[in-house]
Amino acid sequence: MWTGGFFSIGTLLMGLAYNNALITVGRIVNQVSIGSALTIAPVYITEISPDSSRGSLTSLPEILVFLHVSRAFFLSREKLKLGRWPSTLATIGVFTMPESPRWLVMQGRSGDANDILERTYDSQHEASRRLAEIEEAVGNMQRTGRDVWRELWLHRSPFVWHMIICVLGINIIQQALGIDIILLYSNRIFEKAGVTSSNEKLLWTVIVHIVKATCFLIATGYLHKVGRKKLLLGRIGATTIMLAALGICLNIISDADNIIGNADKSHEKHNWAVAYCTPLLLLYVASVSSGVGPIASVYSVEIFPLRLRAQGYAVGIVVKEVTGLALSTIFLQDYHATTAVFSFMVCGFFVFAFVYFIMPETEGRALEDIWKLFVEYFVRRSTAGERERQRDIGAVEAAAMELQRNVEAMEAGTRSTAGDIELQRNTEAAEAAARVDIEASP
């Protein structure tokens, strides 16, 4: 409710602003509410959703933010103050929303939590089972007694560190695949594709946003059928391929422009590359929007246990925003569209490896059980490492025994050789003495 109120005030200030200073104040107030909403909404939805639809529902805020950004693209500044009405209505609507059952249990209101769980789960038995799991998680949280930030950074266990790495990684991935930067370069890509009219550029921009929103919505329906990790790997692979193909086409067109010096003639010479640019851009947007787009927020918020969820997810949001700011600062100054495309293509290979080796699959697990995946992962790695260490120790011992046998054999061979030499000397001495006796005899 506080977030919606701040957003209404900030939007109204920008709409009524008569100078840049007031616009800046309105934007600052808005950013306070936006930063809060980016953390609050996914955590709330995750905690109140049944397991069967948690992924789809948690990704909805991303879709709605995108749709509102697309709508604002077509509004003038005079209509900016209209933005206060959605936030005002949302603030009023919050009064009809139930509290998170996890939060209620933390406040000692298990009866209220059970009522909400019965409304969101299919059966009373399932709701009772979930309530018992939540109460156990809250009990563990209270027994731990540690400050959350201290547990995240100072006294973190190996599996909590694994969670943090996954959250930081998935949020960096969302920026490292370059969707925001490539969309900012989209007008240049359209120009390379022969689109010069402002109206045509606007039309293609609208098409790009429609493709992005459509693929985002479609992906939410596959999160529970395919799984987070499989869908993410498939889309990252497709994204990398699209970036490689788009970069090649842009590079061919740029080289032709530099050699010929006439864009129209270079387009005629490499019309196939020109024709592929826009479809490849749309396929790239579709790949990102149907993969890391909806999965990043879902995965980041569901992997933490209850006591670490909000703070851990907030760290991921901060990292995502900082990464986006850093990439914007780097690529929007001195780099060209082709350089940006190839740079993000290279990132795609590292991103694929990170997801494949580091991130476990969370599909099909209850919210209170997902953190156990990371404990199991750590135990498996520790067990595997211990087995490997024992194998190494066994191999070293076997090598040492073999070396000892070789040394003993060499020593035995040396003793045998020395004995033969001594015997030979004695034989020769005896023969020499015999000859002397023979010669000395009458």
Kindly list the distances between the CA atom of residue 297 and the CA atoms of 230, 265, 419, in Å, as whole numbers in the listed order: 16, 46, 82
Kindly list the distances between the CA atom of residue 63 and the CA atoms of 56, 218, 290, in Å, as whole numbers in the listed order: 11, 11, 11
d(Cα 306, Cα 368) in Å, to the nearest integer?
A: 8
Asked if residue 92 is part of any domain, the answer here is: no
- State the DSSP code for 107: T
Token pair belonging to 327: 């990439």
pTM score, whole prediction: 0.72
Asked if residue 142 is part of any domain, the answer here is: no
Cβ contacts of residue 23 below 8 Å, gap of 6+?
Answer: 13, 14, 17
d(Cα 89, Cα 264) in Å, to the nearest integer?
A: 52
Exposure string for 365-375, b = 16+ CB within 10 A, e = fewer:
bebbebbebbe
Asked if residue 329 is part of any domain, the answer here is: yes
**pLDDT value, residue 383:** 67
**pLDDT value, residue 260:** 47
In 3D space, the residue among 345, 327, 80 whose CA is nearest the CA of residue 184 turns out to be 327
Helix axes 309-331 and 337-358, enclosed angle (nearest 10): 150
d(Cα 88, Cα 4) in Å, to the nearest integer?
A: 6
Angle at 433 between CA 427 and CA 436, to 5 degrees: 145
Check if the beta carbon of residue 129 is closer than 8 Å to that of residue 137.
Answer: no
In 3D space, the residue among 341, 388, 216 whose CA is nearest the CA of residue 291 turns out to be 216
**pLDDT value, residue 421:** 56
Asked if residue 119 is part of any domain, the answer here is: no
d(Cα 122, Cα 117) in Å, to the nearest integer?
A: 9
Angle at 340 between CA 338 and CA 346, to 5 degrees: 105
Q: How many domains does the chain have?
A: 1
Tens of pLDDT along the chain (442 residues) come to 888 888 888 888 887 777 888 888 888 888 888 888 888 888 888 888 887 778 778 877 777 776 776 666 666 555 665 666 777 787 788 888 888 888 888 888 888 888 888 888 877 888 888 888 888 877 766 655 567 777 777 767 788 888 899 999 999 988 888 888 887 777 777 777 777 777 777 788 778 888 888 888 888 777 777 888 888 899 999 999 998 988 888 787 766 555 444 555 545 555 666 677 788 888 988 888 888 888 888 888 888 888 888 888 888 888 988 888 888 888 766 556 677 788 888 988 999 999 998 888 888 778 878 878 888 877 777 665 556 666 766 666 676 677 667 666 766 665 555 555 555 665 565 555 555 455 555 5
Burial bucket for residue 104 (CB in 10 Å: 0-12, 13-18, 19+): buried
Angle at 299 between CA 350 and CA 100, to 5 degrees: 165
Residue type, 325: L
Q: Is the dihedral of CA 181, 185, 190, 196 positive or negative?
A: positive
Query: Which range marks the domain in which residue 348 is found?
Result: 148-368
Asked if residue 285 is part of any domain, the answer here is: yes
- Per residue, what are the HEC states of 129-183? HHHHHHHHHHHHHHHHCCCHHHHHHCCCCHHHHHHHHHHHHHHHHHHHCCHHHHH
CATH of the domain at 322: 1.20.1250.20
Asked if residue 112 is part of any domain, the answer here is: no
Asked if residue 157 is part of any domain, the answer here is: yes
Asked if residue 341 is part of any domain, the answer here is: yes
Kindly list the distances between the CA atom of residue 413 and the CA atoms of 37, 399, 400, 424, in Å, as whole numbers in the listed order: 82, 21, 20, 16
In 3D space, the residue among 274, 244, 245 whose CA is nearest the CA of residue 257 turns out to be 274
